[in-house]
Amino acid sequence: ALTLLEQQVVDLLLSGLTGDEVADLLAVDRRRVALCRAGAMRKYGARNALHLAHLVAITRRSTLHEQVVTLEDVPSSIAV
């Protein structure tokens, strides 16, 4: 699992911000941003930033599918 800072860094980088912009926005050193990105890449097993983006997208997509609630999951006493 990513730390909160790693998650924030990854999210901001994936939104298109540069490392310098992320550092300014989060009020951390540029080196800290690079270390967070490297940590996230290591944890995901990513070879580069593009691979990290791909792996994050796949992980989030599968997580969203696991969170989908169907009508069968809702107790009949509250179903519409």
The single residue listed with the structure tokens 């009020």 is 27
Determine the average pLDDT of the residues in 51-77: 71
pTM above 0.85, yes or no: no
Look at the alpha carbons of 46, 52, 55, 59 in this order and tell me if their dihedral is positive or negative. positive
- Looking at per-residue pLDDT, the higher value among 70 and 21 belongs to 21
Query: pLDDT tens digit string along 24-33?
Result: 999 999 999 9
pLDDT tier for residue 49 given thresholds of 50, 70 and 90: very high
